[in-house]
Amino acid sequence: MMRELRVEDALMYLDQVKMEFGDRPHIYNEFLDIMKTFKSQAIDTPGVIRRVASLFHGNRRLVLGFNTFLPE
């Protein structure tokens, strides 16, 4: 059974992204833009997965962490 996600989990993940790309804030900002676009339903789940995987390419930990927030 999957555990319930809390707001704190999402905020911790955002902090991880921010720290990981501290030297490249444009990547963090692009991630936030992707999330806003997804929230407004301008892109679907497969679209958001592609964009985030592409943005975080090579950073397996962040890509896998993002999976936590996706529907089954």
Q: Per residue in 33-56, pLDDT tens?
A: 999 999 999 999 999 999 999 999
CB 55 within 8 A of CB 30: yes
CA 27 to chain centre: 11
**pLDDT score at 2:** 55
Digit-coded pLDDT (tens) for 13-33: 999 999 999 999 999 999 999
pTM of the model: 0.86
Digit-coded pLDDT (tens) for 1-16: 556 778 899 999 999 9
CB 27 within 8 A of CB 21: yes
Coil, helix or strand at residue 29: helix
Q: Mind listing the domains of the chain with CATH numbers?
A: 7-17+24-68 (1.20.1160.11)
Report the chain's terminal Cα–Cα distance, integer Å.
12
